[in-house]
Structure 1
Amino acid sequence: MFALNLEKITDHLGARVFIDASQLLAPDAPAAVLDALNQYGVLVFPQIHVPDETLVAFTNQLGDMEAATRTADGSNVSAKGIYRIALDKDDKTQRDYVVGNNYWHMDGTSYEVPGKATLLKCESPASAGGETDFAHVYAAYEALPEDKKHALQNLRVIHGLKAVGVKIYDNPTPEDFERWRVAFPETEQPLVWHQANGRTSLVIGSTAQSIVDMPEAEGYQLLQELTDWCTQPQFTYRHHWQQGDLVIFNNPGLLHRSRPYAENSGRVMHRTTVKGVEAFTYGNI
């Protein structure tokens, strides 16, 4: 039976996995990786140097790979379904996607069903900055006082790219607001997401712009308070990239962000996403 050689990273979050890239496609490897992912939240494969073809094949063995349609940029890897994360993009919306990663967020808040897992492969690390932070929202929610959990239960959140754009641009134009609306139409999601695995997450982060039926300033303050709570040091792990690293993270239970880096820093990442199987509305209807 296939077994992973694991090394725990923090008390709450993360494990390093020491295997060869060729072992990822072993018959029992996907099931073992998914089990570890559900347990540890973030799996780090140090300098495993996975070829793009193996990355795509392995992603499809973990589940169904999400087509990179919104993030397709015409690159060679984009044709394979891989999102190339780099700042050397001419399209304004593509650059907004990349720069927007610098803020704490959960992937897929524009969908009814968010991605299950995200795979990040380091083609080239930044010469300075560019680390990726992860925050364990499951653990952070469990640590909330019971009265706070009760107060949050039935709240609904509006998510949209506008909430990220106004952080990036000092003076956004009407054309910017329309571009963000088209790229990422506003969605309404539960604030508290009770999941089929018995765990609970919070659907928050940079795309969360307001709380339904709550004054804007009050809602923003609450969303920021919750993000600050979830991203306390005891719930977080910062990954310092090396060329060839592969990191897989359990999207429904985490927030993540990249640390700022310069356009000429050389940072290039390849990302694939495993489609989710559970809607935000599970346990909240």
Structure 2
Amino acid sequence: MKIKPLHPLFSGEVTDVDLSVELTSEQVADIRGAMDKYAVLVFRGQSLDDAEQRRFSEYFGPLELSRKRFRKGYTPRLHLNMSDISNLDQDGKPLERGDGRLLGAYANRLWHTDSSFKKIPARYSILVAHVLPKNGGGNTEFADMRAAYDDLDEATQARIADYICTHSIMNSRAKLGFTDFDEGEQKGLPPVPQVLVRTHPGSGRKGLYLASHAGSIEGMPVPEGRMILMDLMEHATQPKYVYSHEWQPGDVVMWDNRCTMHRGRWHDPDDIRDLRRTTVSDEIPTVPDREIDETVREAV
């Protein structure tokens, strides 16, 4: 297995490995070690089917179930261990522009880290390209949250070290005016607490744990907390911290949600874009054995 750096700070392209077959324990360990270093890995020309993608993903931990299972009457196009990152309906046809599924998916173009709105967030995400927009667009951008943290001055690092943020998927969607969550989704996806600064267990590096899902910081007025989060988001997404991935058919991109953010970019919604994601659970919460601080619940 060989790795070519794609950015001065993080991200690498992996060659000489076939993800469609069973991997050896040594190969899995090599990929895990590379993830600790690069945080984003690109595997070109793999063309995995759904079963192969799930098998590869399960080498790294248990898979999350799609959050859409909470929606009443939802009929999945894919296996429930997969997230449908497409603009297609159950019959494989492009969604109408006013369809709620498409409107909710626009939030993927906000900076975020997967599943920070869950008590136990995501460890890795694996995204496979099946069909790409014929007129281009639809890149995915990644931000290195370790480098962003490293570049904060010492006073800021000390000030934010123990901050706890409130994350909710309703918060990120509300930024776009999307509030179409039924009762099942609201009960199944309550707001959760997450630390603002994480120490990566593999690399030992600290990083910012930010997302558009974060709406407040515990123990301070909501406007003050949101302003801090906005300032940190602006800092962490400067071009020097960002790798932009231009998709090719068959690409597999794997990233570490504990130390990166990402966002999708625009493409013509009438062009088919079919990507499929598996998400590996981190298995432990960042804030153990407690619920959300009631003083900030109303801010969600």
TM-score normalized by structure 1? 0.87
1:82 matched to which residue of 2?
82
Say if 1:93 and 1:179, in contact at 8 Å, map to a contact too: no
* Matched letter for residue 188 of structure 1: P
1:14 matched to which residue of 2?
11
Q: Deviations over 1:193-213 (max 9, x none)?
A: 234342222222210111223
- Please report how far the alpha carbon of residue 31 of structure 1 lies from its aligned counterpart in structure 2 after TM superposition: 1.5
Q: Distance in 2 between matches of 1:232 and 1:280?
A: 26
Q: Deviations over 1:217-244 (max 9, x none)?
A: 2222111110111111121100011111
Range 194-203 or range 65-74, more displaced: 65-74
1:62 matched to which residue of 2?
60
Say if 2:20 and 2:48, in contact at 8 Å, map to a contact too: no
- Please report how far the alpha carbon of residue 47 of structure 1 lies from its aligned counterpart in structure 2 after TM superposition: 2.1
Within the candidate set 97, 109, 113, 2:120 is matched to 113
RMSD: 2.5
Q: Distance in 1 between matches of 2:119 and 2:280?
A: 15
- SS where residue 252 of structure 1 aligns? coil
1:46 matched to which residue of 2?
44
Contiguous gaps of at least 5 residues in structure 2? 90-94, 289-300
- Please report how far the alpha carbon of residue 18 of structure 1 lies from its aligned counterpart in structure 2 after TM superposition: 1.4
| More helix by percentage | 1
Within the candidate set 22, 27, 30, 2:28 is matched to 30
Q: Distance in 2 between matches of 1:189 and 1:280?
A: 6
* Matched letter for residue 82 of structure 1: M
* Matched letter for residue 239 of structure 2: P
Q: Distance in 2 between matches of 1:281 and 1:200?
A: 16
Contiguous gaps of at least 5 residues in structure 1? none
Say if 2:112 and 2:261, in contact at 8 Å, map to a contact too: yes
2:110 matched to which residue of 1?
103
Range 24-33 or range 201-210, more displaced: 24-33
- Please report how far the alpha carbon of residue 24 of structure 1 lies from its aligned counterpart in structure 2 after TM superposition: 5.2
C-alpha distance 93-276 of structure 1, shift in aligned 2 (>3 A): farther
* Matched letter for residue 7 of structure 2: T
